[in-house]
Each structure stands twice: as structure tokens, then as C-alpha cells.
Structure 1
Amino acid sequence: MSRAKTPLGTWGKITRRKLGPTTWRARATMRGYDGKPRMYQMTGPTGAQAEAGLLAKLNAMLPPTDDVISPDMVMSELAKFWWLEFEDLKRAANTRRRYREIIDTYILPGVGNLTIREANVSTLDKFLKGVRTKHGNATAKMSKTLLTGMLSLATRHGAAAANPLREVARIPTSTKEVRALTIDEVAKLRHDVYAWQQPTGRQNGLHEKDILDVVDMMLATGARIGEALAIRWSDVDLAAEKPTVTVRGTVIDVRGKNGLRIQDHPKSANSRQRYFLPLFAVEMLRRRQADPVRQNDLDLVFPSTTLTIRDPNGFRKQWREARKAVGFEWVTPHTFRKSVGTILANTQGMAAATAQLGHSSEQITSKHYVQKTHEAPDNTEVLQVFGEKPK
């Protein structure tokens, strides 16, 4: 029976030999990660010191985590190693926050106590189906993405033979049809919101009085809510022949790190651009610029009531109150972005809509931001031939 090979990255028995009165040598054969055995040795004044030196040399040649990530490591520990690797990618703060939320809320409670060995196709498939049933497709897909990354790390370190996430059932993408506001709906919404936010005898806050201003900025540019609330007066040029606003960043919530701050770049690189402003937005900005109540040290166009960074989630809450009052409960802040995409695609073409929204492809704009007309082209003249009487 043939002798079993030494595992990769390990060594056999260490031998000692006295070379002189005060000189000892320690030797061992280590099998490298290329499969080749190599002899290593160290000398010292005693056999123990020579062996200690050799062990230090051999251990220094090992990758730092190969002896840590093993099939018996629990998933919660693997998640820590993966997170350290992920942090090196320098992803956006909102992305890190969302990933951390998915890990802490769903992955660790669901499979955190399993070992890598136990995290097989069947177990993970059941887990993801449970997440999908209770929390929806989007959360299940995100959980699958993060688990794929974690077990890919385990596979690279030899703790798993293959990534089991490759074999779990596909999670379908929710296909919700795009709905945008029509021109008439926008006119009615703006009129009714303006009337709703006027003083009614009770103490109205600054938020309520300027909800429409934020909406108008989104309608005028197609900017996301976080991007609109991050605009500073230094980003606005009302003196130009064609007034503009430049989107340079977005408001993010860095939990545990002083809360809200303005990230120095928007959601995507293509979203960092200058927009030419229609007249209704120019008039709104000039009115705000002349209002001393809204002046603030942060140079914000749309500050909070305390003249600090305004929370997008806080605005969404205020918008839910407004939309309910005016009968547009289906409209979210993102609906305004879709409405911009739809009107531009229908009038200027899909390329214009894609450029305005800062997308990387027309396919993204068409699929997610333009409402379908469900109307075939007018081919009546051609099709009439089928109704002609025989000659």
C-alpha cells in the first residue's frame, strides 16, 4: 500500500543532528502549494533552538488564514473574514450599511451557527426559500449574493470543495410594471400639494411648507431624493444664460458615525453631471435663495428645519402624509425619476432619457424607468390589404 502524501502546506517529521560542540541542525521536508516537496533547515546552539527556528520559518511561509478557515468553522466566523475582505473594496457607505443589515438581520440568525461543512445546497436552499417567503424576492436575492461571496472565500481557502450557492434554486426577479405620472397628473399633484402645504391655522413646520420645492427639483432633473437633498448653492448657477444645477453627491446615513453626511459622489459615476433647469425650477430656486430663513452654514439648498442635512427617510415620511392628503398614494419620490425618464423617452428618445438619468445603458432605462404604452404602431394602411375584395 502506497504511503499517503503529506498535505499541501504541511511538513513531515523534524530531525535534529549535532554538527559540533555548540551547533545543531534541524531539518524538515515541506510540501508546497504547487505539490513539490522541499527540504528546509535551520541551525542553533542547541537542538531545541534549531527546531524552534525551523518551525518559525515554516510557519512564516504559510498564508495567514489557511489554517483558520476550515470546514468546521461556523458561518458567523466566516462572515467576519469575508467582511474584512469586503471592506478593502471601499464600497459606498449605503452599500456597506445595506450589506451589514442583511448579514445581521437574516444571514446570521438563519445560518450563522452552521459550520461551512453543514452549509450544503439543501440547507441553504431551504433558508433562502424561507427568506423569500417572509421577506420578499429582493431580500432573498441579496442574501444569496452575500452568502455566495462568503462561501467563495471558503472555497478559495480549501474549506469547501465547491460553492453550494451555484446549485440552489434561482430566485425570480420581481417584475413590477413601471408606472409614471402623466403630464395632467403632475399638474394636478403640484397644484394640490401646494394647496395642502399652506397654513391652516395650526403651526406648520418648514418641512411641510417646502415639500413641493423638493418635488420640483426631482421633476426638473430626474435626480434621486438623496441627490436632491445633497445639492448646495455652490452647485447652482442661476446667473448663466441657461441656469444649471450640478449633482455631485448624495445624503447617506452612516449609523454609529455621526449619522447623516453628504457622500462626495452620487449613487453612480454617470449621475455626477450638470443639469439645465426648466423655468419652474429656476423660479423656485430664486425664491429660496432670497429667503433668509433658509440660509445655513452648510450651504444646503434644502436643509432640515434645524438647518442641517435633511434626512431622505424623513422626507419620505412627510411625502407619505402629503400624497395621502391629495389622493396620490401610489407615488413615491422615485416615481418622479420614472416620470422624467418616461416623458423624455416618449418625446426625445431613449438615448436622451438615459443620458438625463445617468444610466450606463438604454436597457436599464427602458426596463426600469419608462412606462410602457402597450400600443402597437399604426399599421392600418398596410393591414387593410387583408380586407380588400378579390379582383
Structure 2
Amino acid sequence: MTDTALVSVSEPVDQTEIDELPASNVPPEAQRAAALVAIELDRIQQAARNVDRIASDLELIAVWLRNQVSAHTRSSYEFAWNTWQAHSPGRPLADTTLADLQDFQAALAQERKPGSVNTMMSALRSVFAMAHRKGYIRSNPCAEINDLPNPNRSGTASALSRRILTRTEVARLLEAARPGRDFALYLMLYHTGCRVSEALALRWEDLNLEGLLPTLTVLQGKGGKGRVIRLSERLRETLIELRPQDAVPDGLVFATRTGRPMARNNAWTSLRRVARRAGIDRDISPHWFRHAHASHALDGGAPVQSVKETLGHASLATTSVYVHARNGGDSGLWLD
């Protein structure tokens, strides 16, 4: 036997009988009480729907990862979750405390740079916030976790200035790159300002190389936003040379010899080797071409709004950081 109360169900009542009852038979207090009960029942039902029948942490994590539009974000979040699980094996989300998360953050800080730690904690904030929003956990302990101070945060002008390649360095990298795929990829990153994940996801059908205005279409940029980017004549000619005669519309532009997608870490490793051949003793990454695109375009007189749209920035303030990050105080040359 259980303590669950049994609710008797009366026989169905003809609606016409209810409509014929005089309003005075239902006291105002009873009407208000019935309304409150209805509201509470609706709230409970809504909360139940929000749980989406999630019965375990594994199911919640699967839903959380599926909700990420960007494959790069999904991979980053999955890595952060697995790192957390390795630190606290078997600890359920519902039993996780603020102290547990602070201990994890401190452990990460002993081995990683502040930016990497903050990225991982941002991922955990996301999953705990979703669990709380859906009613899977009663409170969100991760909401109280603050980012570590990061003097090298890429959004600051001083840090960004150290990640901007000079025109000479870009030329040396292109000269040292292997002809074909690698050269085309680096030229693409520099001339379009694409993120490396966007470039590696491009398919031939995303490129318009034959029209008067050659373009590429980024279907899934950061935040799921798409954009169209004009191509330079040099880049168009390079891509036409790269395109195989038997290329299919949905074929990848930048693929391995076996036709498989090129991994981001392979692009990173390859560029490091090219940098060494070019005599560039800096810890560069493919994203530096994007920084160089913005800085050099602004140097050449491109409007900030145009650079913003090309890069796919959500805010003009983000693009304006490059104005402050450029090296060389040459504004006096513009004065009489």
C-alpha cells in the first residue's frame, strides 16, 4: 500500500446543466479558489513539459550538446564536460555544489592558462543553466563562478596587437606554404577573414566563382549566423585552380587526400610548420589571418562597418577593437 490518495471521479455532467446554474450558486471565494488551482495546475504541467522527460545526466548532456549549432562549440563543450567528469567521476549534476566547482576551477588553473580555464567554466555554466532552466536541478551552483583574470584576453587591444601579422609576415607565410590546398586555405583566411572552422566547412556549392561578383556564402557562422563575402580576383583564380575537374557541388573545398574533412588541429599544426620555414618565430594560429585581415583592411581605408559585415561580428564595438590594436602612430601624417 502507498500513501497516495485516491481521487474519485464522478459521472460526466451534462454541460447544459452547468450553463443553466445561476451564478449566485458559486460563491466568489470559490471562483477565486478554483482559478488559483487552475493556475497552479498549469504551472506544474508547464514545469513537467520543460523537463522534456529527461531522466538522467547523460540524457541532459546529450540534449545540451545537440542544441549547439556550431560543431566547434559542440566539440569544445564536450571536452569541457569530459574534463569535469574526470575530475569528479560519478558526481550527479543535482549533487554538485559551488565548492565542487571552485575546486575544479582551481585545479584547472594549476595546469592551464586563464583563457582556457574560463572557456571550460563557461561550458559548465551553460549546462548547469540549462539543467536549472528545465527544472532538472533545483539551483544553479555554477552561476556564482567568476572568470579568472586574464590579461591576455584576445578582446583587449593590447593582447590583440600581439596577434596581428604584418603584411610582410603574411607574404612570407604564403610564399612558404605548399602549393594547392594549403596555399589556398591561407589565402582564403587572409582575404576573407573567415574563421578556420568556417573555411574548412566550405563546399564548392557555397562558392560563386563564375559570376561578375565572385562570392562565398558562410552558411553557419558563429552563433548560427550566415553571411556573403566578396572574393578578390586573386582568391577566385586560386580557387578555380584548386577545384578538381570532377568536383561535385557538395564536395569539400579543403579536404584530405582521401576526401575526408580537414581537422582544425591539422590546419593549426601545418601552419606552425610553415611559420618555421618562413622564419616567423611566433606561436601563431590560423585565426591570426583573421586579425590580419581586419587590421590591414582598416589600414587601407576600409569602413569599419564593411569590415564588421565581412567578419560576421555581431557588434561594431568588437570590430572597433582593431582600430585601437593597430601598431604605428601614423595619424600625424594625415594632418597639415
TM-score by length of 1: 0.60
Report which of the two has the higher share of helix. 2
**What's the secondary structure of 2:211's corresponding residue?**
coil
* 1:189 aligned residue (144, 152, 173): 173
Q: CA deviation at 1:167?
A: 3.2
2:266 equivalent among 314, 324, 333: 314
| 1:340 equivalent in structure 2 | 293
Q: Deviations over 1:270-314 (max 9, x none)?
A: 443132x2232233233334x65xx44454443322344333332
Q: Does 1:109 align with 2:86?
A: yes
Question: How far apart, in 2, do the equivalents of 1:167 and 1:371 lie?
Answer: 32
Contact 2:255/2:262 (<8 A) preserved: yes
Q: Are residue 175 (structure 1) and residue 146 (structure 2) matched? A: no
Aligned to 1:273: 228
User: Residue 134 of structure 1: SS of its match in structure 2?
Assistant: coil
Judge conservation of contact 2:102–2:145 (CA < 8 Å) in 1. yes
Runs of 4 or more consecutive aligned structure 1 residues displaced over 6 Å after TM superposition: 34-37
SS of the counterpart of 1:306?
A: coil
For residues 47 and 232 of structure 2, the distance between their equivalents in structure 1, rounded to whole angstroms, comes to: 63
In structure 1, the gaps of 5 or more residues are 1-10, 18-33, 38-59, 70-76, 198-207, 250-264, 382-391
Which residue in 2 is equivalent to 1:224?
195
Residue 125 (1) aligns with residue 102 (2): yes
Q: Secondary structure at the match of 2:229?
A: strand
Q: Which amino acid aligns with 1:287?
A: E
Quote the residue 1:79 is aligned against.
57
The CA deviation at 1:86 is 2.1
Give the counterpart of 1:362 among 316, 327, 330: 316
User: Among residues 298, 303, 319, which one is paired with 1:349 in the alignment?
Assistant: 303
Deviation, 1:181, is 2.0
C-alpha contact 1:345 1:351 (8 A) present in aligned 2 = no
C-alpha contact 2:173 2:274 (8 A) present in aligned 1: no
Aligned-residue CA RMSD (Å):
4.2
The answer to whether the 8 Å contact 1:303/1:310 transfers is yes
Unaligned segments of structure 2, at least 5 residues: 9-34, 39-44
Of all paired residues, the percent bearing the same amino acid is 18
Letter in 1 for 2:60: W
Count matched residues: 293
Query: For 2:111, what is the secondary structure of its paired residue?
Result: helix
> More relative contact order in 1 or in 2 (CA 8 Å, sep 6+)?
2
Bigger proportion of residues as strand:
1
State the Cα distance separating 1:336 from its structure 2 match: 0.9
Cross-structure match for 1:288:
242
**What is the TM-score of this pair, normalised by structure 2?**
0.69
CA contact (8 A) 1:320 1:329 kept: no
